[in-house]
Chain A
């Protein structure tokens, strides 16, 4: 209890603490997002517009091929359903705290409440979110889908998620983040703490589809034990005011593995400050960070960081940025070796598409637009598995538009 009180004091003190990166948002400008909302038991009863919004971030209202579904509107959980209770557990974090006494041992253990004003705010509001757990040895064939939706203007949504993949289990999660039609201004603060235990695998795909005036400050830390794997795909292709994130993966057990793919487009007026960091704390750990960013007029910053603290750790960092018609690209790779027997490397390149490549395709009969589109599609294709068709179609349409506008 005393510890809680201390933490609260620290968080309160941190409410004015600016984040290390990204534009600063004044939290006072945003109202608290409502914790009350109408339940949506049957997602297919939602308006067509809302269903489209969900589909565009990989969330299938029909719940076909999904192990479970979780929907949060503003700060209210409006839907939580599960197909197969045996392979996965899914509920709101607040419910999970009531159901399992031990959940508190996973809460605010990886992310520090006083890291910056955004974590402090989320902590002080006792933010709700999803709790997903795959029990030991269980493998769900289908992914769990979650969606975090901002439904009102000028509010700050605070979310706190915990994902636990127990020993030898496998779990796929698709999280979509979006705004309801017509909501342009808002703030999303999202805390995610993920635990991948011995020999377990977590595939985590996150699709962002925000609005032009939305500020987004996710704070994610992943803890991976011996022989565990964490694979993350982060996709953001639509206009947004500002996203600043720096998910951190701690490879704590021998042979742990992480791969983080980032695919992002910075439109005019967008600031994307996207980092990812891996800390190698155990022998034989491995990681790959792959970032593909395009700017069509906005700012894209790709930070990649690897810190090697244990023998025989291997890591590779790849930041590629395309400039298509203005904007700024900055790649910041950081490699740090604190022991001798370590292999960390990086490859970074920013610039425009080579004219030679466009003309190669034109010589095969493609228009300039189609040629650029094909190259851009290839550039962004890092082989993400299991994306629903609707989302694929939306991604293709976005890329086609980028191709047209790039000329």
Chain B
């Protein structure tokens, strides 16, 4: 589904990602770990094609096509969707109007809004004055309306209260797996995702297949995401960096 080769990215002349290699197979959900400032969000923003993230080397292959130089719109059309960490205030753009434009069937979006308790935000300007948790719910609502094949989630659970997290987790699970009849069906009909998480809470709801650890803009290691999470919790990221240095 997604193949990132030797990706090097600069923001404002500063090298933020250095030679990143990462894959997400069809139907897989991969997880990105790493300390603050490692470049995780930058990687997701680059995959979506946002300006300011300048690819100076490497390539991004999606569904077999080189999308490295495609516009944000073209990538969205190809089936990539994103929940960013800090979406902009969209003054004047009402949530319901936006849902109307992006969803195939507004009824479905309205139904989900009911579940996510977002109906009362319909006439509000998107993100303007939304609390942290409200932003996540609104983003997820929009993503569901959009229904992309490949989903980039930047810390979906951060700022979400303990009650809402279950709803949010289940909504993400539904978004990823609603078309699958069974586990074996996942790579044929399920969606793919790349998820950033610090706490791993979201992993209680979705099946994570593979984990990556990113430090200083470089992939340190990859493996079983649950094992990785346990190790990070016990030893922090220091060990990963040391381990990587040993290999070189």
A354 touches B88 (CB 8 A): yes
Q: Is B87 an interface residue (CB 8 A)?
A: yes
Q: Is the CB–CB distance between A365 and B102 below 8 Å?
A: yes
Contact of B73 among A355, A362, A374 (CB under 8 A): A362
Q: With the chains together, A381 CA to B98 CA distance in Å?
A: 15
B71 partner, pick from A355, A368, A380, beta carbons under 8 A: A368
| CB of B41 within 8 Å of the partner chain | no
Q: What count of chain B residues pass the 8 Å CB interface test?
A: 26
In contact, B93 and A359 (Cβ under 8 angstroms):
no
Question: Is the C-beta of B60 less than 8 angstroms from some C-beta in chain A?
Answer: no
Q: Report Cα–Cα, A377/B81, bound state, in Å.
A: 24
Compute how far the CA of A281 lies from the CA of B49 in the bound complex, rounded to whole angstroms: 55
Is B3 an interface residue, CB under 8 A from the partner?
no
Contact partners of B102 in chain A: CB under 8 A: 364-366
Assuming the contacts A364-B98, A364-B102, A366-B102, asked whether A377 and B92 have C-beta atoms less than 8 A apart, the reply is: yes
Q: Is the pair B76, A381 in contact by a Cβ cutoff of 8 Å?
A: no
Q: Which of B81, B90, B146 contacts A357 (CB 8 A)?
A: B90
Mark each residue of chain B from 24 to 66: 1 if its CB lies under 8 Å from any CB of chain A, else 0. 0000000000000000000000001111000000000000000
Instruction: Return A385 CB to nearest CB of chain B, in Å.
Output: 15
Q: Determine whether A356 belongs to the interface, using a CB cutoff of 8 Å to chain B.
A: yes
Interface string of B162-206 (1 = CB under 8 A from A): 000000000000000000000000000000000000000000000
Q: Taking the nearest CB of chain B, how far is it from the CB of A380, in angstroms?
A: 8
Q: Contact check: which of B48, B92, B101 meets A366 at CB < 8 Å?
A: B101
Q: What are 17 A-B interface contacts by the 8 Å CB criterion? A: A354-B88, A357-B90, A359-B49, A359-B72, A361-B90, A361-B98, A362-B76, A363-B50, A363-B81, A364-B98, A364-B102, A366-B73, A366-B102, A368-B71, A375-B92, A378-B97, A379-B92
Besides the known contacts A363-B48, A363-B76, A363-B81, 16 further A-B residue pairs in the complex with CB atoms under 8 A apart:
A354-B88, A359-B51, A359-B72, A360-B88, A361-B93, A361-B98, A362-B72, A364-B76, A364-B101, A364-B146, A365-B73, A365-B76, A366-B101, A374-B93, A375-B92, A378-B94
Which residues in B have some Cβ–Cβ distance to A below 8 Å? Answer: 48-51, 71-73, 75-77, 81-82, 87-88, 90-94, 97-98, 101-102, 125, 142, 146
Residues of chain A having any CB pair with chain B under 8 Å: 354-357, 359-368, 370, 374-375, 377-381
